[in-house]
Amino acid sequence: MPELRKDPIIGRWVIVATERAKRPKDFKIEHNNIKEGVCPFCEGHEDMTPPEILAIREGGTKKNGPGWDVRVVPSITPVLRVEGNLNRRGHGMYDVMDGVGAHEILIETPDHNKEPGQMTIEHVSKIARTMAYRIADLENDMRLKYVLVFKNHGRVAGGSHIKHARSQLIATPITPKRIKEKLIGARRYFEFKERCIFCDIIKQEMDSQSRIVYDTDHFVAMSPFASRFPFETWILPKRHSCDYHKITEEEMLDFGKMIVTVFGKLAKALGDFPYNLIIHTAPFRAHKKKGYWDTIAEDFHWHLEIMPRLTQVAGFEWGSGFYINPTPPEEAAKYLRDMEI
Amino acid sequence: MPELRKDPIIGRWVIVATERAKRPKDFKIEHNNIKEGVCPFCEGHEDMTPPEILAIREGGTKKNGPGWDVRVVPSITPVLRVEGNLNRRGHGMYDVMDGVGAHEILIETPDHNKEPGQMTIEHVSKIARTMAYRIADLENDMRLKYVLVFKNHGRVAGGSHIKHARSQLIATPITPKRIKEKLIGARRYFEFKERCIFCDIIKQEMDSQSRIVYDTDHFVAMSPFASRFPFETWILPKRHSCDYHKITEEEMLDFGKMIVTVFGKLAKALGDFPYNLIIHTAPFRAHKKKGYWDTIAEDFHWHLEIMPRLTQVAGFEWGSGFYINPTPPEEAAKYLRDMEI
């Protein structure tokens, strides 16, 4: 069972794999082992993954067989395990719990070579809907507090050597530090202004237009004012909502249009660029007693972040929490805004 | 002038380069441009760097000529500039200030091919002393609040294509978020226990020995309990002290022995491994009025972190602040402890 260990100074959690510990030579092997073999995520290879948790399929096709559009399977190398209880405990002055959680792979397309910028709007909205279904389902597990949807594309961004487009969901038994920081920041602003900070950002950005990349009926894409990375792009719903999975059917189709357009622009500007994508939605509250997070629905606002990895994160960033961005977001936004696709 | 921009939600600062903005093609060029030319950091090439700020030299040698052991020069591509004032201002709901600070390169050796594990103890203690001198000098600039000493080795760790061993110092006009988090965590612990958290960690680790890599009269090297990275190693002084630059002469020599031994072990285990190194020391307080940081001297404890970059930091880490470490620190420590050099 993996262990969750808490840094005693700043409270950051680390998932420590206690089985299959990697020794120095394992890292060396991994570095040189960029293989191109049979892809377990392609249509027709369904038996190469664990049985599917959910799939959007054509009528008449069979579970774990071909005929699907989007497919969710458990990770074969899960960082957290679904079995067991948290077993929170001390270890001298340190805090530990068992690595309980869920780790799922969302295969975005049956086609090995298709990236989001090349998909149809309808297809991307199916992916978005599948994510919402999975979040809603995981919320039923009372041990879980959060689910992070993310994506790693390209080796530099931590992606694997298999390029087949897929996202991941990791559900954790604690609300992650990064989310808590945002919740706390958003709440402080709300206490001061009695308005959502994200709604205010959207308003200011729509007024100025200088950092807007694209906007649709229901969404806006922008280069954030304090972008950490060149061409960093955030997508926010114009309607205030803290929960990604409460997205409406109409918004879902519009979200598909937004994703296809933004990725189309990024790919035209940057080629096959390495990136990380994350969705920050509110923590699970269905099983919570009244208390600290009661105000989330009014002060938090879900959003999606695309982080192109064109620059390296190095000692200064690790040591300070500062970032160095060589491309002003106004120039990145103008470049992407003007990019015809 | 670069700009410091504050993320309005979580308060993270970003340094945005406003001159020489990088457009998409600049990143592509950089990726393919791994040149091996004349090294500006080698002895005899002193005219290829800006004039030196400080050097430890043989008697009778001339400034900006050969004959030095350790040499500090301004960065030719500084991320912050020494001229001007902060000019703190708002931009709608956002916060901005000018990118005032200092960015220096500490050339660790005249020899192009020497890494810390291959240097003499005396030489490494000269490097350590030079760092202390620079920190003490930068403290005199009332606009500055912090100096981070760091090192990027290897391309994966953000190092440049020139391998010549060197560290960097970046002095900032605000105390970085990462440091503040540690100061706050350490203070909270002190308020609760009336003891330094780092002293308590050293005590627990020395008692258990399971995560100790090496220890000398004045220092201890360990794999931290919640290590983020495989073979992450921290070096702490056994004597409680919050300021790196208040290190004594006797400790300096012992510190040299520690660095040479730890890097010798790491290099034998991992080969020429990519890494980031940082020193976390207390913020500047010489020009401060009484107030918030008055307790730093009792509750903070300087330390050095070595982060081998064998794993990629990806979407999950960016989105959650969690880390995934495939090598338990107990196994990493045992491996390094047993490694004969």
Helix, strand, coil share (%) of chain A residues, nearest 5: 35, 25, 45
- Rounded-to-integer distance, Cα A10 and Cα B180, Å: 9
For testing contact with chain B, the best of A3, A7, A9 (most B CBs within 10 A): A9
From chain B, the residues in CB contact with A327 under 8 A are: 17, 21-23
B225 closest CB neighbour out of A5, A11, A17: A5
From chain B, the residues in CB contact with A92 under 8 A are: 204, 208
From chain B, the residues in CB contact with A311 under 8 A are: 27
Sign of CA dihedral A205, A208, A214, A218: positive
Confidence of residue A36 (pLDDT cuts 50, 70, 90): low
The more confident residue out of B230 and A35 is: B230
- Rounded-to-integer distance, Cα A165 and Cα A41, Å: 9
Q: What is the pLDDT of residues A170-193, one digit of tens each?
A: 999 999 999 999 999 999 999 999
Supply the pTM of this predicted model.
Answer: 0.94
Residue B107's pLDDT is what? 98
CB atoms near residue B182 (< 10 Å): 21
Q: Any idea which residue has 């940057």 for tokens?
A: A270
- Tens digit of pLDDT at every position of chain B (341 positions): 888 999 888 888 899 987 766 778 777 644 444 455 789 999 999 999 999 999 999 999 999 999 999 999 999 989 999 988 999 999 999 999 999 999 999 999 999 999 999 999 999 999 999 999 999 999 999 999 999 999 999 988 999 889 999 999 999 999 999 999 999 999 999 999 999 999 999 999 999 999 999 999 999 999 999 999 999 999 999 999 999 999 999 999 999 999 999 999 999 999 999 999 999 999 998 776 666 667 899 999 999 999 999 988 899 999 999 999 999 999 999 999 999 98
Q: Would you call A123 helix, strand, or coil by DSSP?
A: helix
Q: What angle do CA B153, B154, B155 make, to 5 degrees?
A: 130
**Per-residue pLDDT for A34 more than 50?**
no
- The residue of chain B nearest to residue A189, with distances taken between CA atoms, is B9
The answer to whether the CB of B242 falls within 8 A of the CB of B281 is yes
- Distance (Å) from the alpha carbon of B236 to chain A's nearest alpha carbon: 14
Q: What is the average pLDDT across A93-107? A: 95
Percent of chain A whose predicted confidence (pLDDT) is above 70: 95
The more confident residue out of A291 and B190 is: B190
Average pLDDT of the residues of chain A: 92
Give the HSE-up count for residue A313: Cα atoms under 13 Å, Cβ half-sphere: 24
Question: B177-193 vs B197-208: helix axis angle to the nearest 10?
Answer: 80
HEC string of chain B equals CCEEEECCCCCCEEEECCCCCCCHHHHHHHHHCCCCCCCCCCCCCHHHCCCCCEEEECCCCCCCCCCEEEEEEECCCCCCECCCCCCCEEECCEEEEECECEEEEEECCCCCCCCHHHCCHHHHHHHHHHHHHHHHHHCCCCCCCEEEEEEEECHHHCCCCCCCCEEEEEEECCCCHHHHHHHHHHHHHHHHHCCCHHHHHHHHHHHHCCCEEEECCCEEEECCCCCCCCCCEEEEECCCCCCHHHCCHHHHHHHHHHHHHHHHHHHHHHCCCCEEEEEECCCCCCCCCCCHHHHHHHHCCCEEEEEECCCCCCHHHHHHCCEEECCCHHHHHHHHHHCCC
Residue B31's pLDDT is what? 45
State whether A322 and B172 contact (CB < 8 Å). yes
ipTM of the complex model: 0.91
Q: What is the pLDDT of residues A245-256, one digit of tens each?
A: 999 999 999 999
Question: What domains lie within chain A, and their CATH numbers?
Answer: 173-341 (3.30.428.10)
Contacts of A32 (CB under 8 A, 6+ apart): none
C-alpha R_g of chain A? 20
Residue A31's pLDDT is what? 45
Confidence of residue A145 (pLDDT cuts 50, 70, 90): very high
- Rounded-to-integer distance, Cα A301 and Cα A200, Å: 11
- Rounded-to-integer distance, Cα B192 and Cα A63, Å: 56
Residue B289's pLDDT is what? 66
**Per-residue pLDDT for A121 more than 90?**
yes
The more confident residue out of B123 and A23 is: B123
Strand partners, A101: none
State whether A318 and B276 contact (CB < 8 Å). yes
Torsion of CA B226, B229, B235, B241, to 10 degrees: -60
**Per-residue pLDDT for A37 more than 90?**
no
